[in-house]
A = this chain, B = another copy of it.
Amino acid sequence: MNIIPLTKIQDIIDRTAIETLVQSQESGFISYSQGKSVVPPVGHLQFSNPPGECHIKYGHIITDDLFVIKVATGFYHNLVAGLSNGDGLILVFSAKTGLLKTILLDEGYLTNIRTALAGLIAAKYLAPKKIYGIGIFGTGCQAKLQLKYLQAGLKNFNCQNIWIWGRSKDKLQTYRQDIEPLGLDVQLTTNIEDITENCNLLITTTASKQPILTAALIQPGTHITAIGADSPGKQELDPQIVKQADICVVDSISQCFEYGDISYSVKEQLIDKSKVVELGNIISNPMLRRNNDQQITIADLTGVAVQDIKIATLINEIVEEKTLVKS
């Protein structure tokens, strides 16, 4: 049985080709959308003093020999005490013997990576052919990772015109410093129009509880990947944007009708549910994708357990291969 600490996991991710990571995640989305995965309801524990939560996501892909359990905690008062605001680990078991194979002590890192990979995959299949500008809303960890993974994996990535929006000038400056290793020149703004006028690939990564983007601002041909609204109560897009979009993509239809940006449009009956397509189907069926550069497309990503399953089983595979080589 392998116990893999965070530094080792980071090292494995850094050494793994982006194509390998993307392909593994894509196969997970396809399995999910083809009903080839078993993903029971998420387990929850809620704490009040101090406020905190624990989520248990688990499941397996029917054709895989492994199953996965991910535990993640969030205790936002920790930051005051100088602690990380959450923790987490992933357990990988054999689906043939039930024996524990690997414990990934990732502290939530792999959730960040698989979320960034989902953003890259959405852009790969939905962004217009010519990307004249990339705009990122938010200055947190995911805002940086989305840019890093787009640069690493998006063939039509345009590094000439990258805009970052945030409410705080300090945080924008910190963002610029933090992404220095990427060698990218980014423009910082607190003005939303700077982004909507200069960019046709937008990624929203904020913790907002009300719309940041309104329909009137969105130019024809824009693709928006909405990452931030990953639990009930969060919202980044005006429901009218969803209404006017030509293609509405979600990671999970059932989940995105419950929460996430598209849920508001569904609940207000602004859009026909049948218009919504899963990312797994976009990946496997080119007919469902954008067919011209004037269409507005949206990908609303709330996070599904198959992403965790695939990244954990990939790491497990790499670890086991190395173990084999060693012995």
**CB of A213 to closest CB in B, whole Å:** 32
Q: How far is the CA of A253 from the CA of B54 in the complex (A)?
A: 26
Q: Is A87 an interface residue (CB 8 A)?
A: yes
> Which parts of A31-90 form the interface with B (CB within 8 Å)?
38, 40, 43-45, 47, 50, 52-54, 56, 58-60, 67, 69, 71, 73-75, 78, 81, 83-84, 86-89
Q: How far is the CA of A70 from the CA of B53 in the complex (A)?
A: 17
Q: Are B98 and A54 in contact (CB under 8 A)?
A: yes
Q: How large is the interface on A (under 10, 10 to 19, 20 to 34, 35 or more residues)?
A: 35 or more
Question: What are the interface flags for A174-187 relative to B under an 8 Å C-beta threshold, 1 for contact and 0 otherwise?
Answer: 00000000000000
**CB of A45 to closest CB in B, whole Å:** 6
With contacts A40-B43, A87-B93, A103-B103 taken as known, whether A75 is within 8 angstroms of B98 at the C-beta atoms is yes
Q: Are B87 and A74 in contact (CB under 8 A)?
A: no
A-B contact list, 28 entries, CB within 8 Å: A1-B105, A40-B43, A40-B45, A43-B56, A45-B58, A45-B59, A47-B60, A47-B67, A47-B95, A50-B96, A52-B98, A53-B98, A54-B58, A54-B69, A54-B93, A54-B98, A56-B56, A73-B93, A73-B98, A75-B97, A75-B98, A83-B97, A83-B99, A84-B99, A86-B98, A87-B98, A87-B99, A103-B103
A68 nearest in chain B by CB position: B45
Number of this chain's copies in the complex: 2
Q: Is A319 an interface residue (CB 8 A)?
A: no
Q: How far is the CA of A78 from the CA of B94 in the complex (A)?
A: 12
Q: Is A249 an interface residue (CB 8 A)?
A: no
Q: How far is the CA of A84 from the CA of B98 in the complex (A)?
A: 9
Q: Is A100 an interface residue (CB 8 A)?
A: yes
Interface residues of A (CB under 8 A from B): 1, 3, 38, 40, 43-45, 47, 50, 52-54, 56, 58-60, 67, 69, 71, 73-75, 78, 81, 83-84, 86-89, 91, 93, 95-100, 103, 105
Question: What residues of B have a CB within 8 angstroms of the CB of A95 in the complex?
Answer: 47, 52
Q: Are A71 and B54 in contact (CB under 8 A)?
A: no
Q: How far is the CA of A45 from the CA of B1 in the complex (A)?
A: 21
Question: What residues of B have a CB within 8 angstroms of the CB of A38 in the complex?
Answer: 45
A5 nearest in chain B by CB position: B1
Q: How far is the CA of A59 from the CA of B54 in the complex (A)?
A: 10
Question: What residues of B have a CB within 8 angstroms of the CB of A97 in the complex?
Answer: 52, 75, 78, 81, 83, 87
Q: How far is the CA of A75 from the CA of B99 in the complex (A)?
A: 9
Question: What residues of B have a CB within 8 angstroms of the CB of A73 in the complex?
Answer: 93, 98-100
Question: What residues of B have a CB within 8 angstroms of the CB of A44 in the complex?
Answer: 40
